[in-house]
């Protein structure tokens, strides 16, 4: 499994990804998306994919969806990728 982590400012944004649920559910290789609240005004998205090729294939579609979240962001998304090495 491969993951993408995107950090952003958190306010009243949870309605946006809910409105995109159907689009997100149709992305091949995307297993889950989690939003973590880090503080009063900051959150992080963790998106898990089957593998790195699935993540790469979905990148343009995901970035298009993230563009709609720009009103909630205070800076450009900071993304990281990594392969899962342990799970419980």
Give domain status of residue 10, yes or no. yes
Give domain status of residue 88, yes or no. no
Residues whose CB is less than 8 angstroms from the CB of residue 62 and which lie 6 or more positions away in sequence, other chains included: 4, 27, 47
Token couple for 13: 């944004």
Single pTM value for the model: 0.75
Q: What is the CATH number of the domain that holds 78?
A: 3.30.70.100
Count the domains in the chain: 1
Token couple for 42: 């900051």
Segment holding 36, helix H or strand E: strand 30-39
Give domain status of residue 52, yes or no. yes
Range of the domain at 74: 2-83
pLDDT per residue of the chain (88 residues) written in tens, 0 to 9 = 787 777 665 656 777 888 899 999 999 999 999 888 888 767 788 899 999 999 999 999 998 987 887 777 767 777 788 888 888 8
pLDDT of 23: 93
pLDDT of 26: 95
């Amino acid at each position: 499994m491969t993951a993408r982590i995107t950090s952003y400012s958190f306010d009243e944004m949870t309605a946006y990804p809910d409105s995109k649920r159907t689009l997100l559910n149709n992305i091949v290789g995307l297993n889950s998306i989690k939003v973590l609240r880090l503080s009063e005004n900051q959150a992080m998205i963790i998106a898990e994919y089957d593998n790195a090729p699935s993540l790469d294939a979905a990148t343009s579609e995901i970035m298009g969806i993230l563009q709609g979240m720009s009103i909630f962001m205070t800076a450009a998304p900071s993304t990281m990728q990594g392969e899962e090495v342990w799970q419980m």
